[in-house]
Structure 1
Amino acid sequence: MKLFSCLLIALRWPRRVLGISKLSAFEFLKAIHPDLSNNQLLDLLREQNKDLDEILAEHHRQLACERDLTRVLRNLDVGYRIIKRIGDANRCVNWADLVIAIGGDGTFLLASKLITNNEKPMFGINPHPGTSNGFTMPMESSADIGRIFEKLRTGDYSLLMRSRIRTIMTGEGLYRQPFHVHEKSRTRGERRIDALMRSTQRKIADALQPRQRILPWLALNEVFMAEFFASRPITLTIQADNEETFTTKSSGICVCTGSGSRSWFRTMNLQTVETVQTLAAMATGKQLDEKETDELLQKYHNNLLFPPEALRMAYMIYEMYRSSRCPKSIPERQMCHKVKIKSRGFDAGLVLDGCVSLPFNDGSTATFDIRPEYSLKNIILP
C-alpha cells in the first residue's frame, strides 16, 4: 500500500472535529420503541432470545469511546460535535476541520459519503476491535485516543488518497428518497387500488424530474447492481472504456475501487482448495499437497488486489450465465478507467457501498469514473 508522506502544515491542527458515531443495537431498539423503559427493552430482548450480554457490552463500549474522545478534545480545547444520525451529521461536515468515524467498517463507509471533496481529512476509531466485517479499512483503536491526537500534533502520520467512484445515472426515479437495502419495502398486504394509486403518483412525479443525475454520493468501496430478489437474474449491457459493448445475464455486477478490491470483490473471486486441486490435477496430472495448494491460492487471491489510491476500477460480473450461444470472449472480470452499464432489470437497484440504493430498472444507465478530485483524504497513523 503506497502512502503519501505529509508535513504538519498539510493538515492544520483541527479546531473543530465532527465525530460520526455508530448507533448501537440497544440505542436503535430505544429509537424504535421510545415508549419503553430500559428494563422493558431488556425484557423485549430476552423474549427475542438475543445475546443480552453482548448487546449491552457493545453499547457500553460505544459510549465509553465517545466519552473518551470528548474528554480528549475538551482537554485540547478543540471544538467538537458527536452525531449519531446521518441526517444531522450532513449539516455539520462543512463546519468541521476533521471527521472521525466512531464504529466499524460500516460507520466509516457511511461517514465517507458525507465528504464530497478530496480536502477534508478523515480517519476511524473502532470501539469494537475484532468485529470488522472484512473491509480492510485501517481503524485506530479506542484504547488510547490521547495518543492519536499526540501523533496528529507532531505530524506523525501519513495521508492516503483513497480513490472513489462517481456515478452518473439516466432514467426514472433518480430523485426519489434513497433507501437502505434492509428498508426496501414491498406492496405485500397493501390493497391493489392503493398500490396502483401510489405507483401512478410516483410516475407523475418522476416525469417532472430531470432524467440525468450526478449522484452526490461517492463510492469508496463498490457499487453493486442487481435485482432485489436474489433468485431473479438481471440482463445488463456493459461497455468498459472505449471497448465493444456486450450484453450478459447474471446475478449482478460489482464495480469496485482499490479499497473495495479487499472486500466483496475479493470474496466473489475466492476459490476453494478443492477447486484448485481438481484443476491442477486435470491440467498437469499432479495432485497438489496442502502447502502447494495454499501457496497457489495465496498468490491468486493477492493478484485480485490493487492499490486503494489507483485511478482505475474493476468490475466483476457475479454468477454470469454462460450457454452454448454465449460468446466465450466475454470478460467476467476486468480493470478499466470508465464503465457504462445499461439495465434491463424488472425490480432492480443500484447500491453504493452496501447502503444507499436507487432504482435501476429497464432503460436506466449508470456511468462510473474515477478522478483525483473524487478521492477521500484518509489519515493513516503508524
Structure 2
Amino acid sequence: MMQTIGHCSPKLYLAVNLQSNLLHRIVTRFTVLRTPRFFGLLLPSSGTKVPFEPLNQFSRFVSSIYTRTMSNAAFVHGNDWKETTHLNHVNGTSTSCLGLEDENPVLNLKQVVIVGKMTRYEFEKHRFNGCTEDEFRQAVESRGSDYDSLYAQHLKHIQTLSSIKDVLSERGIEYKVCTRGKSHTVDLINWADAIITAGGDGTFLSAASKIHDQSKPVIGINTNPNRSEGHLCLPTKYSTNLGKALDKLAAGQFRWLWRRRIRITMTGISDNFRPIHNGDMLRSRMSNTALSSLDEPEYVHRHDIITEVPQQSYNTSGIRSQVLPVLALNEVFIGESLAAVPSYYELKIDDHSSEQQKSSGLCVCTGTGSTAWSYNICRLPESAIKRVLELAAQNVSVNGLPHSADDNGSKNCKIPELSNKLIEQVTHSYSQSYIYEPDSDDMLFSVRDPMQNRVFTCRQCNGFAKKLIIRSRCWDAALCIDGEVSFTFNDGAVATLEMLPSDALRTVQLLEDDTNSNPENKPEQTTMT
C-alpha cells in the first residue's frame, strides 16, 4: 500500500532546510503524478507519494525542472500509475538544480568558457580609435591620467588571463575565450561545463546575466586584485594559482553556493521590454560617435528609444506583462536618468498598501548585492553615528529618564564622553546589519534621499521584503540590472520584483586548507564566487 505523507521522511532521502529553503538531497528518479484526488510526487523506490500541497518550495522547484529543464517530461492525468512519466535527475548523479546539494561535491572540468573583461586601456583606445600610441599617450596625459599605470594594469590582466589558459591547457581542459559584452553568447554557455570569469566583480555580473542553466557553475578570477576589491571572485591568492583552485574542485574541497537572483516581471508597452546595454551606450557617447553595429544586436541604445517627451496618447491595447530576460545577481536600481531630477513612483512592499514616494531612486538588492552598492547606500559614516549618540546622551539620563534643564537652559546631568572605540563599534554594527547571506530569499530595498512632506511619505527607508511592486510616475527613467542592462521605466510601467529558487546561480565556495587557523574547516568567508 502506498503511504501518503505530509512532510519529509528519512525514508525518502529528503532533507528540507526550511530556513534556507534548500533541498539538500533527493532521489535521482521521481514521478510527477496528477489524478483527480492527488497531485504530487511518486517515489518508485518506495512507492511513497509526496503531495505538493504541504511542500510549496518543493512544488516550485519541481515545476522549474518540468518547465525549463526536462523538455521530454510531462505531467499526466488519470488514475493508472503506469500512465505517469519519470523526471530524471539532471546530469544523472550530479547536483544541478537549486536545492540539490551533494554531500561530497566534485567538479571535474572538461570544457570551460573564459569571459574576459575590457580593460580601461582598451576602453580608452576605443575612444581614440585611429590614433598612434604616442598620440594616445598625449591624449591620456592631457587629462591628468597616468598612461604608464593604465598600460601596466592592462598588461597585468593579459598576463593573468594567459596564465589561466596555460593552466587549463596543462590539465587537458578545452576552453574558449570571449570578451565581456561581446562574443559571450548563449551557445558558448551551452557548450561549456562551467564559466570562468577573468576580471573583477563587473565581469562576473556580466557573465552571470546570461546564465539561466543551473547546471553551469560560475567561477570568478580577479585578474588585478591590487586595483580591484570585490566579493564575487575567488580569494586573491588564486589569481596567480588557479591550479590549486582546480585541484580543490576536483577533490571536492568546496561547497555549492546558490546565489539568489531577482526576477523582474514588467508590465508595460513594447518600449519597456527593449534591453539597453549600458556599456555600449557609454562607449558610444564617450567616443561621440554612433556605433554602426552592435556586438549584441538584441541590445539597443537608450538615446535610440527616448527621443522626445512622451506624448499624451497611450496605446493601452499594447500593454502586456512579461518576465525580463535578465536576472539581477546584485541589485535592481530604478530612477530618473538625470540625477538632479527626483524619481516619482508608487511602492508596494509585500502585502502592505502602496505608498507614493519621491526620492533619488530605489535600490533593491540580493544577499550577494548587500556588500556592494546597497551597503554604501545603507551605511552611515562615523560622524553621523557620533552625532546620534551625542544627541541620545543629551536627552537620556543614566537611569533612562529625560534630562531636565534649569532656568539657564543647562543640563542637570553631565553628558558622558563618547569614546572613539564605541563610535567605531556602533558604526560597524550598524553597517553589518544590512549584510546577509547570498542564498537568502529576502530582498533588501533602500530608498535614496526620500522626500518627506504632507504629500510624499516614506514609512520605511530600507528593509527586507519578499515581493516588491513599483509603478513608475517618472518622465525619463530606467530600471537598471546590475549596472549592465537597463529597461525604459516611464509613467505607467509596473515592475514586480521577487526571487524564486529556480532562478538561483550555481557558484562554488572553496574550503580552507589551513585546519589550524580554521579548526572547524569552514568555508572561507571571502570566497564568494
1:216-235 pair list within 5 angstroms: 216-235=325-344
1:161-172 pair list within 5 angstroms: 161-172=258-269
Does residue 179 in structure 1 map to residue 308 in structure 2? no
Report the equivalent of 1:104: 200
Task: Tell me: CA distance 1:100–1:347, structure 2 relative to 1, closer, same or farther (3 Å).
Answer: same
Letter of the structure 1 residue corresponding to residue 243 of structure 2: G
Match of 2:447 among 310, 314, 317: 317
Report the equivalent of 1:352: 481
Task: Tell me: CA distance 1:32–1:181, structure 2 relative to 1, closer, same or farther (3 Å).
Answer: closer
Task: Tell me: CA distance 1:39–1:111, structure 2 relative to 1, closer, same or farther (3 Å).
Answer: same
Query: Equivalents in 2 of 1:247, 1:20: separation in Å?
Result: 42
SS in 2 for 1:88: coil
Match of 1:64 among 159, 162, 169: 159
Task: Tell me: CA distance 1:60–1:247, structure 2 relative to 1, closer, same or farther (3 Å).
Answer: same
Does residue 88 in structure 1 map to residue 183 in structure 2? yes
Report the equivalent of 2:371: 262
Report the equivalent of 1:144: 241
Report the equivalent of 2:219: 123
Gaps of at least 5 residues in structure 1 are none
Query: Equivalents in 2 of 1:222, 1:257: separation in Å?
Result: 6
Query: Equivalents in 2 of 1:113, 1:251: separation in Å?
Result: 26
Per-residue deviation, 1:36? 3.7
CA contact (8 A) 1:117 1:375 kept: no
1:250-305 Cα shifts (integer Å, max 9, x gaps): 11101110111111111112212222222222223244211111111111111111
1:301-340 pair list within 5 angstroms: 301-327=431-457, 330-340=459-469
CA contact (8 A) 1:117 1:373 kept: no
CA contact (8 A) 1:157 1:381 kept: yes
Report the equivalent of 1:159: 256
Per-residue deviation, 1:85? 4.1
Per-residue deviation, 1:234? 1.3
Does residue 273 in structure 1 map to residue 382 in structure 2? yes
CA contact (8 A) 2:111 2:191 kept: yes
From the CA coordinates, give the structure whose radius of gyration is larger. Answer: 2
Task: Tell me: CA distance 1:214–1:46, structure 2 relative to 1, closer, same or farther (3 Å).
Answer: same
CA contact (8 A) 1:8 1:155 kept: no
CA contact (8 A) 2:221 2:233 kept: no
Report the equivalent of 2:397: none
Give TM-score, length-normalised by structure 2: 0.64
1:47-106 Cα shifts (integer Å, max 9, x gaps): 443211211111111111111111111111111011114231113111111101101111
Per-residue deviation, 1:334? 2.0
RMSD: 3.2
Letter of the structure 2 residue corresponding to residue 333 of structure 1: N
Match of 2:116 among 2, 13, 21: 21
Query: Equivalents in 1 of 2:304, 2:442: separation in Å?
Result: 42
Per-residue deviation, 1:121? 0.4
SS in 1 for 2:258: strand
1:114-139 Cα shifts (integer Å, max 9, x gaps): 11133210111011113335x43243
SS in 2 for 1:174: helix
Range moving further from structure 2, 68-77 or 139-148? 139-148
SS in 1 for 2:444: strand
Report the equivalent of 1:77: 172
CA contact (8 A) 2:275 2:485 kept: no
Gaps of at least 5 residues in structure 2 are 1-19, 25-99, 290-302, 395-415, 512-529
SS in 2 for 1:322: coil
Query: Equivalents in 2 of 1:203, 1:76: separation in Å?
Result: 63
Does residue 54 in structure 1 map to residue 112 in structure 2? no
Letter of the structure 2 residue corresponding to residue 122 of structure 1: V
SS in 2 for 1:115: coil
Report the equivalent of 2:421: 291
Identity of aligned residues (%): 28
SS in 2 for 1:131: coil
Query: Equivalents in 2 of 1:258, 1:21: separation in Å?
Result: 25
Report the equivalent of 1:41: 136
SS in 2 for 1:314: strand
SS in 2 for 1:94: helix
Query: Equivalents in 2 of 1:181, 1:74: separation in Å?
Result: 31
CA contact (8 A) 2:275 2:486 kept: no
Query: Equivalents in 1 of 2:305, 2:437: separation in Å?
Result: 48
Query: Equivalents in 1 of 2:477, 2:327: separation in Å?
Result: 20
Query: Equivalents in 2 of 1:140, 1:147: separation in Å?
Result: 12
SS in 2 for 1:28: helix
Per-residue deviation, 1:150? 1.4
Per-residue deviation, 1:33? 4.5
Report the equivalent of 1:241: 350
Report the equivalent of 2:494: 365
CA contact (8 A) 1:175 1:209 kept: no
Task: Tell me: CA distance 1:177–1:6, structure 2 relative to 1, closer, same or farther (3 Å).
Answer: closer
Q: Greater RCO between the two (CA within 8 Å, min separation 6)? A: 1
SS in 1 for 2:273: coil
Query: Equivalents in 1 of 2:261, 2:382: separation in Å?
Result: 33
Task: Tell me: CA distance 1:11–1:113, structure 2 relative to 1, closer, same or farther (3 Å).
Answer: farther
1:174-223 Cα shifts (integer Å, max 9, x gaps): 2334130782689x99xxxx9999669x999x999763321111101000
